Homo-oligomer: A and B are copies of this chain.
Amino acid sequence: MDTAVILCAGLAKRMQGYTQYLPKPLIRVAGREILYRTIKLLDSKGISKFVLVVNEHNREPIENFVRRLGISYEIVLNEHPEKENGYSLYLARNHVNGRFVLTMGDHLYSEEFIEEALKGEGLIVDELALYTDRKEATKVLCKEGKIEKIGKDLKNFNGYDTGFFILDESVFETAERLVKEREKVTLSEIVKEAHIKCTPVSGKFWTDVDTPEDIERAKKALVRASVKGTGDGFISRHLNRKVSLWFSERLVDKLTPNRATWLTFFIGVFSALVALLSPALGGLLYQLSSMLDGIDGEIARASMRTTRFGGYLDSVLDRYTDFLFLSSLALWLKPSQEFLPWVLLAIFGSLMVSYSTERFRGAYCEDAYGVVKELRWLPGKRDERIFFIMLFCLFGWIKALFILLALVTNVRVILTLWLVWKHRGSV
């Protein structure tokens, strides 16, 4: 199966304000066009040819857009979009061979959804439809793996139409017959007449985009789905992520990930400068930078803009932020010669927590938190360190802070070494 047919010939009646100049498949949701997401995700799963059915209004912008994606595509013009989307499918009949994917240009899917859906057959049906407007969605009644009924106003149904199909050429026989019989043919009609199979895929993110409200909801869902979180500590899970997600939802369309990285870095550097004068105020700013630290990754993943350089830059800058802040505290403290070893051990240990975790990826090409699961529960991660640094700064316990950091971080490194040694056979 190497071809996907994407229906983009719809007239988008309910999106007047948004789509006056822009066809619906080209609307950006969380920083990326709907069509970009669908094509790039399918492309990454092995689909190599895209057949786009368009209408005469959106043909030019859509063709200009897909040309720049560097994929193999064919454009099919539907000169009668009023004949509905079943007619659009029918027009694609000479562009596919064997099994193919059929999907909608105004539907958004997550990677997890597409992965699951590609294993299925017929219509992919979602029993839960957690992320879409269920009232407006098309309902489906599946019986014994085949579609029995389909329609918006079904009373008795057991799933929702996700707009994602795995079909084969045989569907075109039914399509042809209906097109010859009727003025208008919807996909639902073809699906019902052809008694195509259905495959349940539940709970994964997908949604159709019919109204401006759908866009807002989808944007938030995409940002929230972007949290990786395997390396998140307690503070991150319960505090920092909440703050960073609040910002990411609002900034995902407006800020590039690398700019978010630099912005957070500058707040961190500023917090270190402030700490020279007031550890308490500096500590608060440092915790602020820690809460914002997730934004770059969230925006990058939600807008499909992750780069390996971005992750690399973020890591190196985080190390400088941590170093500068603790150095400022040390300069503020003016440590005696006897206390200097604690300062050095605290600064070094804080860095080594990251080094020992990230050097694992260097050695094993796998995420340390994925392989050595105990690391997730070991205290001393960056989010936790910064939160406690802030607390100790607020209380003015700078000496105690250095002693605590020196101990916790270096013990964590030793435990990391031991845990990696224990798991050395499992990677």
Interface residues of A (CB under 8 A from B): 307-309, 311-313, 315-316, 319-320, 323, 327, 330-331, 334-335, 337, 340-341, 344-345, 347-348, 351-352, 354-356, 358-365, 413, 417, 420-421, 424, 427
Residue of B nearest to A334 (CB): B337
Which residues from B are CB-within-8-Å of A360? 312, 362
A365 to B348, CA, bound (A): 25
Residue of B nearest to A427 (CB): B308
Give the shortest distance, in Å, between A364 (CB) and chain B (any CB): 5
Contact check: which of B316, B351, B356 meets A348 at CB < 8 Å?
Answer: B351
Residue of B nearest to A317 (CB): B417
- Given contacts A307-B424, A312-B363, A363-B308, whether A340 and B331 have CB atoms under 8 Å apart is yes
Contact check: which of B309, B340, B363 meets A330 at CB < 8 Å?
Answer: B340
Which residues from B are CB-within-8-Å of A424? 307-309
Q: Would A344 and B330 count as touching, CB distance under 8 A?
A: yes
A17 to B355, CA, bound (A): 51
Which of A307, A344, A351 has the most B CB atoms < 10 Å from its CB? A344
A361 to B311, CA, bound (A): 12
Give the shortest distance, in Å, between A391 (CB) and chain B (any CB): 23
Q: Would A344 and B347 count as touching, CB distance under 8 A?
A: yes
Contact check: which of B320, B331, B352, B420 meets A319 at CB < 8 Å?
Answer: B352
Q: Would B364 and A361 count as touching, CB distance under 8 A?
A: no
- Given contacts A316-B413, A359-B316, A365-B365, whether A323 and B308 have CB atoms under 8 Å apart is no
Which residues from B are CB-within-8-Å of A427? 308
A358 to B319, CA, bound (A): 14
- Given contacts A331-B337, A340-B331, whether A312 and B358 have CB atoms under 8 Å apart is no
A319 to B352, CA, bound (A): 8
Q: Would B365 and A417 count as touching, CB distance under 8 A?
A: no
Which residues from B are CB-within-8-Å of A356? 316
Which residues from B are CB-within-8-Å of A316? 352, 355-356, 359, 413, 417
The 5 closest A-B pairs by CB, nearest first: A361-B362, A309-B424, A312-B363, A308-B363, A365-B365
Give the shortest distance, in Å, between A154 (CB) and chain B (any CB): 49
Residue of B nearest to A335 (CB): B340
Q: Would A311 and B355 count as touching, CB distance under 8 A?
A: no
Which residues from B are CB-within-8-Å of A335? 340
- Given contacts A331-B337, A341-B327, whether A355 and B351 have CB atoms under 8 Å apart is yes
A6 to B33, CA, bound (A): 60
Which residues from B are CB-within-8-Å of A327? 341, 344-345, 348
Which residues from B are CB-within-8-Å of A417? 313, 316
Give the shortest distance, in Å, between A333 (CB) and chain B (any CB): 10
- Given contacts A313-B417, A347-B344, whether A319 and B365 have CB atoms under 8 Å apart is no
Which residues from B are CB-within-8-Å of A331? 337, 340-341
A334 to B352, CA, bound (A): 24
Which residues from B are CB-within-8-Å of A359? 312, 315-316, 358, 362
Which residues from B are CB-within-8-Å of A341? 327, 331
Which residues from B are CB-within-8-Å of A307? 424
Give the shortest distance, in Å, between A394 (CB) and chain B (any CB): 24
Give the shortest distance, in Å, between A297 (CB) and chain B (any CB): 13
Which residues from B are CB-within-8-Å of A348? 323, 327, 347, 351
Which residues from B are CB-within-8-Å of A421? 309, 313
A352 to B324, CA, bound (A): 13
Give the shortest distance, in Å, between A103 (CB) and chain B (any CB): 31
Which residues from B are CB-within-8-Å of A352? 316, 319-320, 351
Which residues from B are CB-within-8-Å of A323? 344, 348
Which residues from B are CB-within-8-Å of A361? 361-363, 365
Given contacts A308-B364, A331-B337, list 10 more A-B pairs with CB under 8 A.
Answer: A307-B424, A312-B362, A312-B363, A315-B359, A316-B417, A327-B345, A331-B340, A344-B347, A351-B355, A354-B355
A355 to B315, CA, bound (A): 9
Which residues from B are CB-within-8-Å of A362? 312, 315, 358-362
